Structure 1
């Protein structure tokens, strides 16, 4: 949490979460067959 609150890691971690989390979210939904793609 301390590292995530620093400005430098904020710019590096935030884009990762913005791309990885939606990908994992779609992958989990895709496993259950809830996504059209």
Structure 2
């Protein structure tokens, strides 16, 4: 669970820095739909 929260925090920080969901997904090796879920 801690790993999920840490990754979610990283996604949120990148999004706050104006990265697009697609850029975050590519940078972290995750799907765009996963990034979208993390940001909800």
Q: Give TM-score, length-normalised by structure 2.
A: 0.43
If each structure's helix is expressed as a fraction of its own residues, which one has the higher value?
A: 2
Q: Which has the larger radius of gyration?
A: 1
Q: Give TM-score, length-normalised by structure 1.
A: 0.46
* Structure possessing the higher relative contact order (Cα contacts under 8 Å, 6 or more residues apart): 2
